[in-house]
Homo-oligomer: A and B are copies of this chain.
């Protein structure tokens, strides 16, 4: 298990290799990328920032929980911060297990909880020149 905040482009192949093992026949990967449209607005880029030490700590805690709930699973997660253009990957999580059900369960738990709990923020930059901090609690309330 490893969780890192990074400032470079994510390498999904390297994450897949990191969890690979001859005894684990099922590997699952999630990749989140910057979308060109969010809530109906045209996005040109996103600036991600984080409380880095706590984000790594919280991401590690989530992965440890997912591994505890799915015995034998191995997880690795990286979240990129800084300015990301449309199509670039902001988060990548890989999970491997002997069987596919556990790998997929662990992967979903990890992405759901990291999105809820890791102290990471994003400011969207729009095509019309404006920008705003994204607040998912406000989106959910609509």
A interface residues (Cβ-Cβ under 8 A, vs B) = 12-13, 16, 20, 22-37, 86-87, 98, 100, 103-104, 107-108, 111
Contacts and interface: CB of A to CB of B under 8 A. Distances in A.
Q: How many copies does the complex hold?
A: 2
B27 A28 contact: no
B24 A27 contact: no
23 contacts: A12-B13, A13-B13, A16-B31, A20-B87, A22-B36, A22-B87, A23-B35, A23-B36, A24-B35, A25-B33, A26-B30, A26-B33, A27-B31, A27-B32, A28-B28, A28-B29, A28-B31, A28-B107, A29-B30, A30-B103, A30-B104, A104-B104, A104-B111
Contacts of A33: 20, 24-27
Contacts of A35: 22-25, 98
